[in-house]
Amino acid sequence: MKKQPKPVTNPYLAGTMLGVVLFAAFALTHSGLGASGAISRIQVSLTKLIWQSHVDKVGTFALMGAGDTNPLDHASVFLLLGTFAGGMISALFNRRLRFEILKGPRISKTQRLFFALIGGVIMGYGARFARGCTSGQALSGGAVLSLGSWAFMFCVFIGGYATAYFVRRLWAD
């Protein structure tokens, strides 16, 4: 028996919920949301497992994980774990929890996985460059009117729209 996934929520409603969560984050912790910071920490802790001396040498890695410092001992990591849990819970209740590869119809599954990986690398790199991602910079920084965050947000959209034509085969029907 294959259950049909429930329809997604009205984006304005979901957006309002997002805004309330974001406000709660600021109200309870002084900071907004974020994901890329924790992803960096995961990267540093994985590197630590196999190559501690390298972590000590590279500037930005050392800040998070030099010597005995545990890069995962940080609030952002718990925020990430929560985001993961929340995603899973919601997917479960909305019948969207399913092993699958989401892709445009014109490419193969392998191609999709390849481009997902490449896209992730580019994103991970860009997020460090910008000192934040859409959750940390755009949402959180945007809500407190930080100029850099608004500029960043526009650039993400510009970058995406400018590239969309060239990768249309990934997504086109």
Partner 1 sequence: MLPLDISSELGKAGGYLVFFLIGTGFGVALELAGFGDSRRLAAQFYFKDMTVLKTMFTGIIVACLLIFLSSAVGFLDFTQLAVNQTFLWPGIIGGLIMGVGFIVGGYCPGTSLVATASFKLDGLLFLIGAVLGAGLFGESLPKFEDFWYSSFTDRYLVSDWLGWSIGATVFAVILFALIMFYGAEKVEEYFRIRGTGKVMSWKITRRSYLFGAGTLVVLASLVWIIGQPDPVRKWKYMESRYAVQLTTKAVFIHPLEYVKTNNEATIKLITLDLRPGKDFEAFHLSGSQNVTLDDLFKTSVVAPLAQLPPQGVVVLIAENDSVSIKAWKYLKVQGVVNLYILENGLQNWKSLFADKTVAGKTFNLASPPSEVLKLFPKDSFIQKIKIGSKKRAGGLCS
Binders in 28-87 for partner 1, by CB under 8 A: 28-40, 42-44, 46-47, 58-61, 75-76, 78-87
Considering the complex, what minimum distance in angstroms separates the CB of residue 49 from partner 1?
13
* CB nearer to partner 1: pick between 1 and 128: 128
Q: What angle do CA 118, 109, 127 make, to 5 degrees?
A: 25
Number of residues that bind partner 1 (CB under 8 A): 125
Cβ contacts of residue 35 below 8 Å, gap of 6+? 79, 80, 83, 133, 135, 136
Please check whether residue 136 is in contact with residue 36, taking contact to mean a CB–CB distance below 8 angstroms. Answer: yes
Q: How far is the CB of 154 from partner 1 (least distance, A)?
A: 7
Among 56, 66, 69, 123, binds partner 1 (CB under 8 A): 123
d(CA 138, CA 131): 11
**Phi and psi for 27 in degrees, rounded to 5?**
-65, -35
Residues between 92 and 121 that touch partner 1 (CB under 8 A):
94, 96-104, 112-113, 115-121
